[in-house]
Amino acid sequence: MDIKNFEFKAKVDEIEKYENKLLTLNPKYQGLDHQIDTYFNVLYGRLKLREGNIENSLINYDRENIAGSKESQIILYKHSPDKALKEILKKQLGIKVVVDKKRKIYFIDNVKFHFDIVENLGTFLEVEAIDDKDEFTTEELKTQCDKYFNFLELTDENLVDKSYSDLILELVK
pLDDT in tens, 20-70: 999 999 999 999 999 999 999 999 889 999 999 999 999 998 866 655 666
Please state the domain extents for the chain: 2-172
User: For domain 2-172, is the CATH number 2.40.320.10?
Assistant: yes
What pLDDT, on a 0 to 100 scale, did the predictor assign at position 62?
Answer: 80
Residue type, 51: E
Percent of the chain with pLDDT over 90: 78
Residue type, 135: E
The span from the CA of 31 to the CA of 33, in Å, is 6
- Average pLDDT on 102-112 reads 98
The per-residue DSSP string of 93-130 comes to H-EEEEEEEEEEEEEETTEEEEEEEETTTEEEEEEEEE
